[in-house]
Structure 1
Amino acid sequence: MGTADTQRSTYDAVVRLRDAPFVTRRPAYFSPAAAAQDASNSHGCFGEFAQTLLPLEYTDWVEESGAHVSACYLGDWSSLHKVVVRGREALGFLAWLGMRDLSRFEHGQIKHHVQLDENGWVASEGILCRLAEEEFLYTAGSGDWLLWQLSQGSWDAEAEDVSPDRFIFGVQGPASLATLENLTGESLRDIGFSRSRTTRLAGAPVRILRTGISGELGYEIHGPAERAAEIWAATVETGRRFGLCQLGLRSQPVQHIEAGIATNGLDYLPASILTPGAPTQFRRGRPGGSFVPENGITDYFRKPGELGWGFRKGTPGRDFLGRDALAADAAEGEPRRTLVGLRWNTTDVVGVLAASMSAGDLPDPMELPRGRGPVFDQVLVDGRPTGVSTGRTVSVSLRSTISLCVIDETHAAPGTEVVVLWGRPGTAQREIRATVTTLPFKPDRRRTDVCTL
């Protein structure tokens, strides 16, 4: 059985047995590049990203989490759900499902596709790429909401889950262009931000997308799973001269916080979890942190305006799922919260990190560079709840502990002093001082003019 067939059969088994205990009835599902990655995975440790097992780190998290700023990294996002939507009404369906305007959508263009439920909560979000006149690729943490919504209508369109058939590698950082141009043997400077085109790598057909998940100049490589290990190895070899670092799962989420990007399942829970379109991969555990919801699970949901994805000129008149709910919110002056960054007080953070070597009750530990899974922490001003912090991470590039925060607009001004309550209820909680700052935390270099490099 070849690599492609093995990936497909294992993927299908994992999806079919998604509620089964991992160690007894669920097969281990690895990246299609696992063989090439194994040569550098000296620690032999793996973590689960969606349904896929990926190396936690190759060298150490300090080096890897700063590589997108100092040089570039090669990271594996093959775990993302990949759904091809095609057909005469594919564009119409996608325009209705997402809140963004798709009326001007060029071939090869990439758009952020934010999908809402009928209440206006974010149900799913990811990247939509137009491959042809009637063919689109949606990549996200989960495409289950899209698949379910399509099955509920009568659209002249079809969707195909191609997740195990394709790999997605990220190459992000100032040296990403040099690495990929040397790898492909051709100029890639014609690819503008949020654009893509096809080329060949090691004789294999691939698509190069210019994306910006790191806040730096960066790209993605999409290609056939059966060539993933070969292309991973070739990228590592080519990138070595440019300082390329392989990025382990432990450090992957750091860049999102630095860039001010909320991540589905980590910084908010998708509203789709209450529906038959619930994400396949969000099956384990529950949110941690000090935040205690007053209204149940919906307190972990977010409206797009709370995540920086709202409309600048009011709710548009075109029809899309959740549009009426957003219009009603706007009429009521909602949302009254906005997304900001927090810089945590270093002395207070060190106090938590060093607690295990000091006397007194032990607070919840702080994993480095950040915790795994969703963690929601209560933010206070003068002792009163005013927001929720997520994604607490140590940024070696900024030499600071940072997080995202959905906060009341009255306390969103940069420089506002707040307190983050650290630790689950019932533990030795600590109050950590923090300062509100604008996002992103570092300069946005995603749209670097590559013609000047």
Structure 2
Amino acid sequence: MDLTAHQRSTYETTLRLGFEAPFVTERPPLFSPAAAAQDIANTHGSLSRFAQMLIPTEYAGWVEETTAHVESCYVGDWSSLHKVVVRGRQALGFLGRLGMRNLARFDIGQIKHHVQLDENGWVASEGVLCRLGVEEFVYTAGSCDWLLWQFSQGDWDAEAVDISPDRFIFGIQGPASLHTVEKATGEPLSDIEFSRSRMAQVSGVPVRVLRTGISGELGYELHGPAEHANDIWAAIVQSGLQFGIKQLGLRSQPVQHIEAGIATNGLDYLPAAILSPGAPRQFRRGVPTGSFLPTNGVTDYFRKPDELGWGFRKGVPERDFLGRDALVKDARDGGPGRILMGLVWDKRDVAGVLTSLLEEDEVPDQMEIPRGRGPHFDQVLRNGTPIGVATGRTISANLRQTISLCVIEQASAAPGTEVAVLWGGPGTPQREIRATVTALPFKPDRRRTDVTSL
């Protein structure tokens, strides 16, 4: 059995066993298909887990890695993302019914943000949908289990195939990303517009080049066959050396999302799919922490698309999609009571938490640097009254600030509004940290940079 077949076999066994799968059973698919190439620069020898894969925690250090997408570029490994191909005569019809976005105008090679709701209008899954052909699409997300379950509930003239262990995904983001990828492919790529893709080759291997923007900067992704992942990773690193490329570890991956104002499924909110047979099987850990205490159960961790900035600008459209009726009712009741904004945390208050171990007073919960590794929700107060929930607290070396996202009541959402974040879990020495509401993104959006003149 070759390496790819062995990885797929173990991946499928792990999914079949679900939460009962012992660690020794799932070890083989835990390693990235580019693990050998990455290990060369992983001088710390440390690995961290994302879904069902272990990738290096950091390479050169988190400060260099979290600034690379602003100063030069990075190459990061997102191969652990779930990937499902949907193909057939009714593939487009199924995907249009499942997601809230209109797919009527969807060119081959185009990329769309596919937001999938449950019948209550909560976000159940969201990810990237790419059209590969007239009747073929690939959906990539933290988990595609909601899609697979919904597909199984109908009688569609199509098929949905999990290709996760067969494909790698490498992100190359930053101002030098175009030059790096062009050198690796040996051809100009300035014809690829934002949210578009096409095929190219790296070291003779066919890969799909997607122009994306998860960092808020100019950026690309490479999708290709897992059996060539080591060679492609090494080629990207070599091509980017003259441009100052950094290899990005898992410790630094989520920081850019907060700077760009992007809420991440499973970190900044929990997917409504967890209450269904379409619950994510890839994430077996991650109990929410923080000062926020839900009053309505787990649904207090769910989010509506309007709360995350993904709502409709001109009202809910007439076309049919899962969750539409709930959105219509929400609109009739006055729309979302909360919206997504940013918070800049007071430097002195943050410093007080970080240096508390050097003082004689009670020690509050410490802050992981640059940010926490799992879902963390903190209560936001204004004049002592709860008005929102903060997530994604991170120290940004680019902004020299501690920042976070915040789902906040609209009456307190004006930029410049002073609020407080309650820091520390229940039963710990909690502190109120002053913060200021700010617009998103935290830094200029350069995803749509005109590359024709670069």
TM-score normalised by structure 1 residue count: 0.99
Report if the CA contact (8 A) 1:170-1:219 is conserved. Answer: yes
Report if the CA contact (8 A) 2:11-2:26 is conserved. Answer: no
Q: Which runs of 5+ in 1 are unaligned?
A: none
Partners in 2 of 1:133 and 1:81 — Cα distance? 22
Aligned residue for 2:146, secondary structure, equals: helix
- Deviations along 1:250-272, whole A, 9 cap, x unmatched? 00000000000000000000000
Note the 1:48-67 alignment, pairs <5 A: 48-67=49-68
Q: Which runs of 5+ in 2 are unaligned?
A: none
CA shift for structure 1 position 16: 2.7
Which residue in 2 is equivalent to 1:450? 451
Note the 1:361-380 alignment, pairs <5 A: 361-380=362-381
- Deviations along 1:266-308, whole A, 9 cap, x unmatched? 0000000000000112321410000000000000000000000
Amino acid of the residue matched to residue 15 of structure 1?
L
Percent identity over the alignment? 70
Q: Determine if the alignment matches structure 1 residue 419 to structure 2 residue 440.
A: no
Partners in 1 of 2:2 and 2:204 — Cα distance? 18
Which residue in 2 is equivalent to 1:230? 231
Partners in 1 of 2:20 and 2:40 — Cα distance? 30
CA shift for structure 1 position 21: 6.0
Q: What stretches of structure 1 move > 6 A for 4+ residues in a row?
A: none
Which residue in 2 is equivalent to 1:71? 72
CA shift for structure 1 position 59: 1.1
Note the 1:388-427 alignment, pairs <5 A: 388-427=389-428
Which residue in 2 is equivalent to 1:352? 353
Report if the CA contact (8 A) 1:115-1:125 is conserved. Answer: yes
Partners in 1 of 2:200 and 2:192 — Cα distance? 12
Q: Determine if the alignment matches structure 1 residue 186 to structure 2 residue 187.
A: yes
Report if the CA contact (8 A) 2:371-2:393 is conserved. Answer: yes
Which residue in 1 is equivalent to 2:216? 215
CA shift for structure 1 position 12: 1.8
Aligned residue for 1:8, secondary structure, equals: helix
- Deviations along 1:137-194, whole A, 9 cap, x unmatched? 0000000000000000111111000000000000000000000111111000000000
Which residue in 1 is equivalent to 2:6? 6
Which residue in 2 is equivalent to 1:239? 240
- Deviations along 1:359-418, whole A, 9 cap, x unmatched? 111100100000110000000000000000000000000000000000000000000000
CA shift for structure 1 position 22: 4.6
Which residue in 1 is equivalent to 2:163? 162
Which residue in 2 is equivalent to 1:324? 325
Amino acid of the residue matched to residue 249 of structure 1?
L
- Deviations along 1:196-244, whole A, 9 cap, x unmatched? 0001111111000000000000000000000000000111111111000
RMSD: 0.9
CA shift for structure 1 position 24: 4.6
Report if the CA contact (8 A) 1:18-1:26 is conserved. Answer: no
CA shift for structure 1 position 6: 2.7
Q: Determine if the alignment matches structure 1 residue 195 to structure 2 residue 196.
A: yes
Partners in 1 of 2:358 and 2:256 — Cα distance? 30
Aligned residue for 1:27, secondary structure, equals: helix
Amino acid of the residue matched to residue 142 of structure 1?
S
Aligned residue for 1:113, secondary structure, equals: strand
Amino acid of the residue matched to residue 120 of structure 1?
G
- Deviations along 1:35-87, whole A, 9 cap, x unmatched? 10011111111111011111100110111011100100000000000000001
Report if the CA contact (8 A) 1:7-1:32 is conserved. Answer: no
TM-score normalised by structure 2 residue count: 0.99
Amino acid of the residue matched to residue 16 of structure 2?
R
Note the 1:5-404 alignment, pairs <5 A: 5-20=5-20, 22-28=22-28, 29-404=30-405
Aligned residue for 1:37, secondary structure, equals: helix
Partners in 2 of 1:9 and 1:358 — Cα distance? 53
